[in-house]
Amino acid sequence: MRVEVDRQRCESNGLCVLSAPEVFDLDDDGVLRVASYVDESLRADVEDAVSSCPVQALALRDDPIGGAS
């Protein structure tokens, strides 16, 4: 599973970091960083992060990068 970030919407407010710190982080410049691969065991935390985003900039995808082959 993977997380997509709409960089046009993301305000880097960090609520996702609070929900899933293993997946999300803010760099020194306050820019959101996301793990390239998310282990299935973190699904509930990532779903919380996606739903808590105040600008709906996050999406959880089960398909591989680039879509299904």
pLDDT in tens, 18-62: 999 999 999 999 999 999 889 999 999 999 999 999 999 999 998
Rg of the chain on CA atoms, in Å:
11
Cα end-to-end distance, the chain, whole Å: 15
Coil, strand or helix at 26: strand
User: CB–CB of 31/13 below 8 Å?
Assistant: no
pLDDT value at residue 66: 55
What's the whole-model pTM score? 0.84
Measure the CA–CA gap between 48 and 68, rounded to whole angstroms: 25
> What domains are there in the chain, each with its CATH number?
2-61 (3.30.70.20)
pLDDT value at residue 69: 45
pLDDT value at residue 18: 96
